[in-house]
Amino acid sequence: MTGVGALLRKELLEQWRTMRLGIVAGLFLALGILSPVIAKYTPEIFSALVPADQLPIVIPTPTMADAIGQFVKNVGGTLTLAAILLAMGLVASEKERGTAAFVLTRPAGRGAFIVAKMAALTVTLGLSMALAGAGAYVYTTWLFAAPPIVGFAAMCVLLWLGQVVIAALTLLGSTLVRSAIAAGAIGFAAYIGLTILSALPTIGPYTPMGLQGPAMSLALGTEPTDLLGPILVNVGLVVAATLLAWLSLRRQEL
């Protein structure tokens, strides 16, 4: 894996210079802050728009659990799409522009090329998730009550792992094709497919979306059962997608 460190620095520097890191981190922070705010004020917005006697249902008073649930929903939806957008052009665009061939003429193998891109994705999503979690925690504490900080941090780690899985599958798609749009379509298809599988009682807990329930339980101070298996399966998905991306790139003429 000669050259992983240099390529990783290149990837992170490129993300910084092109503002991808700042944009993704800012989006995560904004949605992290907005999650408890939305949970807190949605009933008041409904009451302002529709008279209470005309509402078809009684809207319960929002709680800390609603704020955390809103955060999990935002991370599992909007922010996962951001992870796909971040990953879809990492290899395909370089192949299309011819820069991948230039980089690989230097003493850096194709394995290092893929590992560096996957590591950069992981770091970027990790930093962004940390900001989102910090924003959500502060505003949840302010508007509702303070969740258990260790459980809340563990929730963020699980949600981050789920996003890394989708990003890794998108990176694999970016390696298989020469178009960033096609790679994004592969990543989105993987996201939809895993979302469907998450509804199955046997397979569901082992999907990235299946981590969301245990993540929320941890944030609320409840210890979920059988968490090690789903974590290992999702880590295995990241490793397998990265390995397949490397094997695919080895067979390609750049």
Question: Tens digits of per-residue pLDDT, 25-42?
Answer: 999 999 999 999 998 887
Exposed e or buried b per residue across 10-35, where buried means at least 16 C-beta atoms within 10 angstroms of its C-beta: bbbeebeeeeebeebbebbbebbbbb
Tokens of 213: 């329930």
CA distance 186 to 176: 10
Q: Which of 225, 18, 217, 234 is nearest to 122 (CA)?
A: 234
pLDDT attached to residue 79: 84
Tokens of 186: 């592969």
Q: 160 and 207 in contact (C-beta within 8 Å)?
A: no
CA distance 113 to 55: 57
Residue 102 predicted with pLDDT over 60: no
Q: Give the Cβ contact number of residue 144 at 10 Å.
A: 18
Single pTM value for the model: 0.90
* 100-114, 126-140, 169-183: the lowest-pLDDT one: 100-114
pLDDT attached to residue 97: 64
Q: 173 and 186 in contact (C-beta within 8 Å)?
A: yes
pLDDT attached to residue 19: 87
Q: Where are the domains of the chain?
A: 4-34+64-250
Question: Tens digits of per-residue pLDDT, 179-211?
Answer: 888 889 999 999 999 999 999 989 999 999 999
Question: Tens digits of per-residue pLDDT, 76-86?
Answer: 888 888 889 88
Q: Give the Cβ contact number of residue 247 at 10 Å.
A: 13
